[in-house]
């Protein structure tokens, strides 16, 4: 959905998440060069920028981060970036959910325990707002391209509107009492809030964490009581604990969802894939 009248790239933007690289490309079109510091299939929680990577990126005008505490390495990165590079945490201007794990059996320790759930991209509305924020940031850094960025953002927001309608239509096939989403860790709270699901993160907010035997017994009892038909592992996460759960309960192990967004071909492809997987597992 790019306007094609801009030829030379005027703006150089580094991104700290593959979904932000997609967003920067959608808004920037051919006027922006996108440098992916955190590439596809890497872990956005545990990236460690090296001076070599920063040097290789060259003179970057803007650096886009997810924000909300996802990138604990930002102070280190800031010290490596040239002072002329503006670092923007997109998520910090979006409405946030607390902590991400509202399941009373899980004390959430670890990397995000102090506050916000950083997985805002699972809200289509948040991603739509992020599109507007990105266009504003690009226009500020490159005023001559402001109209192009505004137009591209408008076109992409229309695609996200269509995605949201499609998602609501698909999810309408899932009966209300089956709208329960047990996942490996607490990545889907925004999705659940937007579309009327109950999130049950088996491992809390931090995927390294294993629930103890008592928590696990409570969790199994809850899943049985709610007649949950399927549990959803995540791509790039250890499914062993979920396999054990399904063996004990007879609940089906669904195909994995894309949680961190780093294995997706694009934002829209990720949402379509996740929604299709959820609907199939809960209705068949």
Instruction: Find the helix packing angle between 213-225 and 240-249, rounded to 10°.
Output: 50
What local confidence, expressed as pLDDT, does residue 106 receive?
A: 33
What local confidence, expressed as pLDDT, does residue 108 receive?
A: 37
Backbone angles phi, psi at 11, to 5 degrees: -130, 140
Non-local (6+) Cβ contacts of 234 within 8 A are 183, 184, 185, 187, 207, 256, 257, 258, 259, 260
Q: Above pLDDT 90, what percent of the chain?
A: 52
Q: What number of other Cβ atoms are within 10 A of residue 233's Cβ?
A: 23
Non-local (6+) Cβ contacts of 118 within 8 A are 66, 67, 68, 69, 70, 91, 100, 112
User: pLDDT by residue (tens digit) across 258-273?
Assistant: 998 988 999 999 999 9
Residue 237: pLDDT band with limits 50, 70, 90: low
Q: Above pLDDT 70, what percent of the chain?
A: 86
Query: CA of 61: how far to CAs of 9, 14, 20, 237, in Å?
Result: 12, 8, 15, 34
pTM: 0.87
What local confidence, expressed as pLDDT, does residue 122 receive?
A: 97
Residue 202: how many CA atoms within 13 Å on its side-chain side?
Answer: 28
The residue with greater pLDDT, 182 or 279, is: 279
């Amino acid at each position: 959905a790019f306007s094609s009248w801009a030829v030379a790239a005027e703006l150089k933007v580094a991104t700290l998440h593959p979904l932000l690289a997609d967003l920067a490309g959608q808004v920037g079109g051919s006027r922006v060069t996108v440098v992916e510091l955190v590439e596809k299939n890497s872990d956005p929680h545990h990236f460690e920028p090296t001076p070599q990577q920063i040097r290789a990126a060259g003179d970057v005008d803007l650096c886009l981060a997810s924000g909300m505490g996802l990138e604990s390495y930002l102070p280190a990165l800031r010290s490596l970036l040239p002072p002329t590079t503006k670092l923007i945490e997109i998520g910090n201007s979006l409405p946030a959910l607390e902590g991400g794990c509202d399941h009373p059996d899980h004390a959430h320790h670890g990397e995000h325990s102090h506050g916000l759930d950083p997985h805002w991209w699972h809200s289509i509305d948040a991603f739509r707002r992020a599109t507007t924020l990105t266009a504003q940031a690009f226009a500020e850094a490159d005023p001559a391209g402001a109209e192009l960025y505004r137009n591209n953002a408008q076109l992409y927001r229309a695609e996200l509107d269509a995605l949201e309608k499609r998602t609501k239509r698909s999810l309408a096939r899932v009966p209300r009492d089956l709208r329960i989403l047990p996942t490996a860790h607490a990545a889907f709270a925004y999705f659940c809030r937007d579309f009327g699901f109950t999130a049950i993160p088996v491992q809390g907010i931090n995927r390294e964490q294993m629930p103890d035997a008592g928590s696990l017994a409570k969790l199994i009892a809850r899943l049985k009581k709610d007649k949950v038909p399927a549990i959803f592992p995540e791509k790039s996460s250890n499914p062993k604990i979920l396999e054990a759960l399904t063996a004990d309960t007879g609940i089906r192990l669904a195909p994995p969802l894309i949680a961190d967004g780093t294995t997706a071909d694009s934002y829209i492809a990720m949402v379509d894939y996740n929604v299709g997987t959820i609907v199939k597992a809960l209705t068949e």
